[in-house]
Amino acid sequence: MAFVHEVGRTTRVMFASVCAFPTVFRSRDSRADFGVQLYKTGIGTLPVVTVVSLFTGMILALQVGLELRRFNQEIYLGAAVMITLIREMAPFSCGMCLAACVGSAIAAELGTMKVNDEIDALEIMSISPVRFLAAPRILALVVMAPLLAFFCCAIGTLGGGIVGATQLGVNFEQYMSSAMSMAEVKDLMVGLLKALIFGLVIGTVSVAQGMGTSLGATGVGRATQRSVVVSFLMILMLGYMVTRVFYR
Amino acid sequence: MSLISFENVVKEFDGRKVLDGLTFSIEAGEVFAIVGPSGTGKSVTLKHIVRLLTPDSGRVMVDGVNVSDCSSRQLRAIRRRVGYLFQGGALLAWMTVEENVALPLKECDCLPDAQIDRRVAEALAAVELADAAEKYPAEISGGMQKRAGLARAIVRESDVVLYDEPTSGLDPVTSVTINRLIKKLNKTLGITSVVVTHDLQGALAFADRILLLKDGKAVECSTPADFVASDNPDVKEFLSAMKGEMQ
> Which of A5-9, A54-58, B143-147 has maximum average pLDDT?
A54-58
| B176 and B245 inside one domain | yes
For residue B169, pLDDT beyond 80 = no
User: A118 vs B91: CB contact, 8 Å cut-off?
Assistant: yes
| B170 and B236 inside one domain | yes
User: B79 vs A27: CB contact, 8 Å cut-off?
Assistant: no
Domain boundary among B120, B143, B158: B158
- H or E element in which residue A139 lies: helix A135-167
Tens of pLDDT, residue by residue over A115-157, are: 988 999 999 988 889 999 999 999 999 999 999 999 999 999 9
For residue A50, pLDDT beyond 90 = yes
* Torsion B103-B104-B107-B113 (CA) sign: negative
Residue of A nearest to B72 (CA): A126
Of B50, B76, B92, the CB nearest to A118: B92
Average pLDDT over residues B94-107: 90
pLDDT on residue A52: 95
Average pLDDT over residues A159-170: 90
pLDDT on residue A229: 94
The answer to whether residue B6 is domain-embedded is no
Determine contact, residues A160/A183, Cβ cutoff 8 Å.
no
Helix, strand, or coil (residue B31): strand
Q: Which domain holds residue B208?
A: 28-69+160-247
Average pLDDT, chain A: 91
Partners of B52 on chain A (C-beta within 8 Å) are 120, 123-124
The distance of A116 to chain B (nearest Cα, Å) reads: 6
Domain boundary among B97, B130, B158: B158
* Torsion B210-B213-B214-B218 (CA) sign: positive
User: A126 vs B106: CB contact, 8 Å cut-off?
Assistant: no
The distance of A115 to chain B (nearest Cα, Å) reads: 10
pTM listed for this prediction: 0.86
**Alpha carbons A120 and A20: distance in angstroms, whole number:** 19
pLDDT on residue B245: 64
Looking at the structure of chain B, the number of domains it has is: 2
Average pLDDT over residues B230-242: 84
Tens of pLDDT, residue by residue over B80-95, are: 888 898 888 889 988 9
| B107 and B218 inside one domain | no
| B105 and B222 inside one domain | no
For residue B223, pLDDT beyond 70 = yes
**Alpha carbons B164 and B194: distance in angstroms, whole number:** 9
| B164 and B242 inside one domain | yes
φ/ψ region of A72 (left if φ > 0, alpha if ψ in -120 to 50, else beta) reads: left
pLDDT on residue B247: 58
Tens of pLDDT, residue by residue over B10-19, are: 999 888 888 8
Rg of chain B on CA atoms, in Å:
18
User: B52 vs A126: CB contact, 8 Å cut-off?
Assistant: no
Per DSSP bridges, beta strands B82-85 and B209-214 are unpaired
Average pLDDT, chain B: 86
Tens of pLDDT, residue by residue over B104-163, are: 888 877 778 888 999 999 888 888 888 888 899 999 888 888 888 888 888 888 889 899
The answer to whether residue B226 is domain-embedded is yes
| B140 and B216 inside one domain | no
pLDDT on residue A72: 83
* Torsion A211-A213-A217-A220 (CA) sign: negative
Whether A184 contacts chain B with CB within 8 A: no
The answer to whether residue B168 is domain-embedded is yes
Whether A4 contacts chain B with CB within 8 A: no
The answer to whether residue B21 is domain-embedded is no
The answer to whether residue B53 is domain-embedded is yes
